[in-house]
Amino acid sequence: MKTVLITGISTGIGRATAESFLEQGHLVIGAVREFHSVETLKSKYGSKLILWKCNFLNLTEIDSIHNLLSENKIMQIDILINNAGMALSAPFQHQDFSEVQNTITTNVLAVMKLTQVLISYLIPAKGRIINISSISGVGGTPFLAGYCASKHAVEGFSESLRRELNLYGIKVILIGPGSIQTPIWSKGFEAIRMRYQNSAYQESFDRFIEFASHEKAHALPPSVVVKDILHATFSESPKIRYSPVPRKFQNVFLPWILPRFVTDYMICRALGLRIKKY
């Protein structure tokens, strides 16, 4: 039996991952902002699921994990899955900078802080750290500057940490999904759609929303990501990075082989980001 700590288990990838480990009989420590979001999980799995209430926007709350582990007599952690995250889309020029700060805090600083706090618990188990990044961690999408920046940071952090923690036999693994059926995007889009209707970005942002809605139709179920997470957990030779991405040739290989100016042209043309005359 493994002891697995997963952040953000209320919905999407985190919830599906938690359920998968619980069904296999492992002990799961699940981080949530509010307990009511996982009441059904707790009632179903009982003592196999230990809930940890933590708001990752407040980095000092992360230190409370020590007390939780002590209370439950947990001396080591086998797997840390940094899944919790947020995404808010906007033209960066007009975006409230507090939204950018919250994105970086949740997606980057909280990941780094929690990982640092838990390394001493991972060392005895020669455990594994699985960081949920994104296809946005290896590219850049208009109107997602803050989110893309955060995922690029996760990629760089994971690369560095993988080499450092090799000293202890701890493996650091990246999962970089593409479009997944998860509420993270609908939470971000619908709340701000009308905010930029009178800006220079009105037409382009509307096109972006339409594009995102189209992508949702091709989104993969969370179970596809869970499959990669399980492989990263149990394989003797896990990959350094997994890419569960729909239409992989179009979304991964083509942007990789094309010159940047070509992809710039294609994206700007598709979104109507043409040079405007004033």
199 neighbors 154 (Cβ within 8 angstroms):
no
Task: Name which of 5-14, 28-37, 204-213 the model is least confident about.
Answer: 204-213
User: CA 132, CA 62: separation in Å to the nearest integer?
Assistant: 18
78, part of any domain: yes
Q: What is the mean pLDDT of residues 250-271?
A: 85
Look up residue 180 and give its DSSP letter.
Answer: B
**CA torsion through residues 22, 55, 213, 261, sign:** negative
In a domain, 274, yes or no: no
What range defines the domain where residue 100 resides? 3-250
Of 82, 106, 86, 77, residue with least CA distance to 173: 82
271 domain residue, yes or no: no
**For a pLDDT cut of 90, what percent of the chain falls above it?**
79
Q: How far apart are CA 273 and CA 265, in angstroms?
A: 9
Q: Specify whether the CB–CB gap between 174 and 135 falls below 8 A.
A: no
Question: Domain for residue 258, yes or no?
Answer: no
Instruction: Supply 3's token pair.
Output: 């002891």
Domain assignment of residue 166, yes or no: yes
278 has catalytic annotation: no
CA 107 – CA 132 distance, rounded (Å): 10
- Report for 154-158, 186-190, 199-203: range of highest mean pLDDT: 154-158
In a domain, 230, yes or no: yes
Q: What is the mean pLDDT of residues 210-214?
A: 84
Mean pLDDT of 66-72: 98
Catalytic site residue 151?
Answer: yes
268 lies in a domain? no
Domains held by the chain: number: 1
For residue 267, pLDDT over 70 is answered with: yes
> What pLDDT is recorded for position 216?
79
What's 148's domain CATH number? 3.40.50.720
Residues 128 and 180: their CA atoms lie apart, in Å, by: 23
* Domain-located, residue 261: no
Residue 43: the pLDDT is 96
Give me the torsion for CA of 218, 222, 223, 227, rounded to 10°.
100
Q: Which of 151, 171, 196, 201 is catalytic?
A: 151
State the average pLDDT over residues 208-228.
89
Of these residues, 147, 196, 201, 242, which one is catalytic? 147
> Residue 158: is it exposed, middle or buried by C-beta count within 10 angstroms (0-12/13-18/19+)?
buried
